[in-house]
Chains A and B, each alone.
Chain A
């Protein structure tokens, strides 16, 4: 499916401060339905903060203050009453894998159960589908009741991805998912992401610029809390993006 220009997320005039520190300044950004939006940029550029602002987990950080507007499907995120419903709509994967201290099965069945699904066969079906999507099923299908926390780092990250998919999110945010995953598995997950694109909108924050190049329809370059430029991935990775510093960053001259 070709990416549309139908807006899934609209961010306008977004500012985020942590106390006196400014993390994001005047971000204006749209994410289109069924695209993969790559977000690249050096450390401290506000990439992760943006994701936390979108699913409002930023509210758990003491001193964090958000101004401006984030709309999902035209609805202002900060005015949503059912915050848990909002978070179910968004799948989140963070750099370090978090296997919950539950069995592999329960890790994936966690979100559906919390949303009220009790039917065993329905849960079985969700667990198998999500583990397959996260390229983990073959490795764990015979020990599905073992503890998820005893898996290796790479396996736990895929378990985390499976859990993020288990509540059938419309938006999937991945923050440096491949840090703890070996290159072969990374490639397998990247293939999965290309397929998932037809079902959901994906935001991919990554330090591996080549990963953005391989996957993203459009790429945004963040620096020091500002969105420097956003364009088609081909343009960002061409010889002449709008900013010289973007060119330097993606080609590795930067620094």
Chain B
């Protein structure tokens, strides 16, 4: 056998070229993810710049939506997001715990899992029609914050179940068997080992749904969001559960398409506020993930 030398053969040079090319292509593809995001944000901020201020956040729309700020829609969006997650997070987490920790693999479990996957893929406009039929009309809640929140909850529920299941499944199986072997019940195992080691992942999944719920227009348009609503006061509790409300996504839609002669910066300013909510919550979830890794216990 020939001894190994370190002079470059044509084959080695070719391998090097291919390697460099492959790396470059992968890098460009990864970069192409960032460029649109940066461009969108930059464009929005530049266009919205004249109008951005604290007052823009805290003032209500005025002069038939052609002046003022976004306080009423912003508060409405906060209401919708908080209430919908208050409903979907507990149900989703508990359902995921059942599916991942208790359910055995049988036809019933498979149907539930199939339903979860498919519900996650249902278009939001279909959720909107379901919400209209089920909550607004059938349950008789009427168009309201409550009906819209419940519709958003139905929409976010399957995703929360899926992400929670994933977080639970990331806790290695041998930990569970070790607990069962010393006579711990399933619930004791879940409480002491599984949940403490997956809670950050669970919370990350829930937080990501904040931005989704905040951004959707269709589900709330039919079920509780309105073109304009005058707030009764400036406080945080200006909306009632059974009131209709304004919402940022809906507001952006109406001032961009339904209202003539809106100042140029106004829709952009609204979009910046909406984007800021989305990016802030995503940033929060990233921070959680970093925290999760830093205290990984095995």
Chain A's closest residue to B177 (CB) is A57
B192 part of interface (Cβ distance < 8 Å): yes
Mark the stretch among B7-15, B38-46, B182-190 that contacts chain A: B182-190
**Given A100-B175, A110-B192, is A147 in contact with B182 using a C-beta cutoff of 8 Å?**
no
Q: How far is the CA of A100 from the CA of B105 in the complex (A)?
A: 26
**In the complex, chain B residues whose CB is within 8 Å of the CB of A111:** 182-184
Asked whether A98 lies within 8 Å of B175 as measured between CB atoms, the reply is yes
**Given A62-B105, A101-B197, A110-B192, is A84 in contact with B183 using a C-beta cutoff of 8 Å?**
yes
Would you give 29 A-B contacts (Cβ < 8 Å), ordered by A?
A57-B177, A60-B180, A62-B105, A84-B185, A85-B183, A87-B181, A87-B183, A91-B182, A92-B181, A96-B174, A98-B174, A98-B177, A100-B193, A101-B175, A101-B297, A102-B193, A102-B297, A110-B179, A110-B184, A110-B192, A111-B182, A111-B183, A114-B188, A114-B192, A147-B298, A149-B297, A163-B178, A166-B182, A167-B183
B108 to chain A, nearest CB (A): 15
B104 part of interface (Cβ distance < 8 Å): yes
Q: Mark A67-80, 1 if CB is under 8 A from B, else 0.
A: 00000000000000
Q: Which 3 A-B pairs have the closest CB atoms?
A: A101-B297, A88-B183, A111-B182
Asked whether A101 lies within 8 Å of B298 as measured between CB atoms, the reply is yes
Asked whether B297 lies within 8 Å of A147 as measured between CB atoms, the reply is yes
**In the complex, chain A residues whose CB is within 8 Å of the CB of B179:** 100, 110, 114
**In the complex, chain A residues whose CB is within 8 Å of the CB of B185:** 84, 114
A164 part of interface (Cβ distance < 8 Å): yes
Asked whether B181 lies within 8 Å of A110 as measured between CB atoms, the reply is no
Q: How far is the CA of A147 from the CA of B174 in the complex (A)?
A: 17
Q: How far is the CA of A149 from the CA of B184 in the complex (A)?
A: 19
Per the CB 8 Å criterion, the residue count for chain B at the interface is 20
Asked whether B177 lies within 8 Å of A164 as measured between CB atoms, the reply is no
Q: Mark B179-220, 1 if CB is under 8 A from A, else 0.
A: 111111100100011001100000000000000000000000
Q: Mark A94-118, 1 if CB is under 8 A from B, else 0.
A: 1010111110000000110011000
Q: How large is the interface on A (under 10, 10 to 19, 20 to 34, 35 or more residues)?
A: 20 to 34
A160 part of interface (Cβ distance < 8 Å): yes
A55 part of interface (Cβ distance < 8 Å): yes
Chain B's closest residue to A92 (CB) is B181
**In the complex, chain A residues whose CB is within 8 Å of the CB of B298:** 99, 101, 147, 149
Q: How far is the CA of A148 from the CA of B232 in the complex (A)?
A: 58
**In the complex, chain A residues whose CB is within 8 Å of the CB of B197:** 101
Chain A's closest residue to B105 (CB) is A62
Q: How far is the CA of A24 from the CA of B182 in the complex (A)?
A: 24
B267 to chain A, nearest CB (A): 50
A223 to chain B, nearest CB (A): 26
Within 8 A of B (CB), among A110-137: 110-111, 114-115
**Given A62-B105, A101-B197, is A115 in contact with B181 using a C-beta cutoff of 8 Å?**
no
Q: How far is the CA of A99 from the CA of B180 in the complex (A)?
A: 14
Chain B's closest residue to A86 (CB) is B183
B31 to chain A, nearest CB (A): 38
A53 to chain B, nearest CB (A): 14
**In the complex, chain B residues whose CB is within 8 Å of the CB of A163:** 178, 182
Q: Which of A102, A115, A147, A149 contacts B183 (CB 8 A)?
A: A115
**Given A85-B183, A111-B183, is A98 in contact with B178 using a C-beta cutoff of 8 Å?**
yes
